[in-house]
Structure 1
């Protein structure tokens, strides 16, 4: 994949679109038949989009290329941390707010915030060296 073909926001948009398609397919095949309320279907969307949000920056930024020298097992472990953090963070947030009578849009936004913050926090916890250069600037 050629980084110069699209700007960073273009790769992010393509990745988020593909993640949304995968999440909706998972919702249709797994979540819908399980009988979970509609509010919880956003968890799969958040869980599939969180790796895109984190890894597009790591892939695209020149100063973060040293991350890819880690073993594949470590990278897969990081990806699992990101997905688990997004799933757990968004689920905890939804469980806490689903009975407050908020609109579906506001519930989704708050769940995204909780999921993305926990997933990025877990990624940062496992890779603090990626962001230490940014703090020195």
Structure 2
């Protein structure tokens, strides 16, 4: 994939679209058939989108290319942390606000914010030097 083909926001948009479509297909074919409630299916969408939000920036930014020099085990561990953080964070948010009578859209937004923030926080916790500027070092 050539970075120059699309601007950063284009890669982000394509990645988020593919992640959302894949998660919704999973929801339809697996979770829907298993009887998983519709209001909780947003968790899979958030979990699929979280790595896209983080890794497009890491892949696209020249100052973050040293990340890819780490071991494969470290990168796989980061992805596991991202998936876990997004799933746990969004699930906690949905369960916490489920009985407040909020609209589904607002519940989904709160779940997205919580899931993405926990996923990014775990990623940052494992890679704190990745986001330091040149003046901080």
TM exceeds 0.5? yes
* Matched pairs, number: 137
Instruction: Tell me which stretches of 4 or more aligned residues in structure 1 moved more than 2 Å.
Output: none
Q: Quick check: which one's helix share is greater?
A: 1
Show the 5 A alignment for 1:1-137.
1-133=1-133, 136=136
Normalization by structure 1: what TM-score?
Answer: 0.96
1:29 Cα deviation (Å)? 1.8
Distance 1:29 1:128, change over 3 A: same
Normalization by structure 2: what TM-score?
Answer: 0.96
- Structure 2: unaligned runs, 5 residues or longer: none
1:94–1:107 Cα contact (<8 Å) kept:
yes
Deviations 1:76-120 (A, max 9, x none): 110110011000000000000011111111000000001000000
- Structure 1: unaligned runs, 5 residues or longer: none
Q: Helix, strand or coil for the counterpart of 2:101? A: coil
Deviations 1:51-85 (A, max 9, x none): 00000000000000000000111111101100110
Distance 1:73 1:33, change over 3 A: same
Distance 1:18 1:67, change over 3 A: same
